[in-house]
Amino acid sequence: MKLLKDALGKLQIPYSDEMIFQFHKYMEEILIWNDKVNLTSITEKNDFEKKHFVDSVVCCGLEQFKEAKNIIDVGTGAGFPGIPLAILNPDKNFLLLDSLNKRIRIISDISASIGVTNVTFCHGRAEEFAQKKEYREQFDLCVSRAVANLAVLSEYCLPFIRVGGWFAAYKSAESENELLESGNAIRILGGRIEEIKTFRMEGFDLDHNIILIKKVKNTLAKYPRKAGMPAKEPLK
């Protein structure tokens, strides 16, 4: 885990030996399961450290993250960025949501086996869960590395966030056009683009943006639309 420890040092993120052990075991278990279930295309360990672990934890230094207590990771996939963030921040509560039940079962079992206790796992679609009273506008922060257009991702994510909370969208460095095209959709959903944080770390193949969107008003009850609609007909 040398790459991860080097990156945490550069990012000034505190960690313990136990946390590093948890990261190591999580990677090992994901790669074992990956032979049976497609969890990740990144199977070389150095790349795994950089592209899953280092990439996930860059938001730890953001004030919006530091102040959040209840965090949701929408479209978590194999547990990124949620699990790395949970390992480093045992004082925060995380909910990881994914539409594939098999993935959720695997990452839940792995997390329990390595002692990550501050995470709840949910199988389901964001369009349906965001309409449930117990989840709607209940979170201080939403994070997502899901591969979707920002307008679509905002319709999935902003309904989960309380007014005054934040959406941190992990995006490539070439996301300017997405920003321009999604501005009105974000306003419709109750959000406002506040800041773009660019992370470039030499030697880590890390060059991307975290787009910080503040929730400034309640999301209208009709959003998110029924399952499939946000991606089929993105808001404009």
What is the Cα–Cα distance from 168 to 145, expressed in whole angstroms? Answer: 9
Residue 221 tokens, joined: 């009850």
The mean pLDDT value for 129-157 works out to 96
Question: Which of 34-38, 102-106, 168-172, 199-203 has the weakest average pLDDT?
Answer: 199-203
Query: How many Cα atoms within 13 Å fall on the side-chain side of residue 181?
Result: 11
pLDDT of the residue at 211: 95
Asked whether the predicted pLDDT for residue 120 surpasses 90, the reply is: yes
- Sign of the Cα torsion 194, 162, 99, 110 reads positive
Phi, psi (rounded to 5 degrees) for 49: -60, -45
| Residue 56, C-beta contacts closer than 8 angstroms, at least 6 positions apart | 80, 81, 82, 83, 84, 85, 145
Give the model's confidence band at 199: pLDDT under 50 very low, under 70 low, under 90 confident, else very high: confident
Domains in the chain, please, with CATH?
A: 2-232 (3.40.50.150)
- pTM here? 0.96
